Amino acid sequence: AAGALSEGLVAVMPDVPFLCHFSRAVGLTDREPYQELVRYLSVHRNARERTFATLSYFDGVSMARRASAPGLFSVALMDFTCPPSTVYAAFNAFAHETKRIVAYEFNDHEGGGAHQWTQQAAFLAELGIQ
């Protein structure tokens, strides 16, 4: 959200971005808050379209479409809090032409940790930011 709504940023570096592509996430993980949506929709069966339309206002995919600064994403391929395909949805929607994603094949929601920090420092250096 900060990367989409703030002006003058030099870079955006979302690590395992959360709350992206809600409609996909509810079918992939049993983690909260997605299961809260499952519980709600199991009772309010006719509210699917309205629910996901409302959530789109702050979905990371919607926000990514407004990005105006270069972006470096990380994704953990064993992440059940932020399922990888939801992270890739935000990355693919990211509007700035300068973007990269680093995948951590054997990590859960902790992502790349300190290794990602070195990736971020290198990314900023490539952009000429000290």
What the chain holds in terms of domains, given with CATH numbers, is 2-125 (3.40.50.1820)
Do 71 and 11 meet the contact criterion of CB atoms below 8 Å apart?
yes
Q: What is the mean pLDDT of residues 88-116?
A: 96
pLDDT digits (tens, 9 = 90+) for 10-50: 999 999 999 999 999 999 999 999 999 999 999 999 999 99
pLDDT band with cut points at 50, 70 and 90 for residue 130:
confident
pLDDT digits (tens, 9 = 90+) for 39-79: 999 999 999 999 999 999 999 999 999 999 999 999 999 99
Report pTM.
Answer: 0.94
Do 82 and 17 meet the contact criterion of CB atoms below 8 Å apart?
yes
Tokens of 19: 């709350």
pLDDT of residue 97: 96
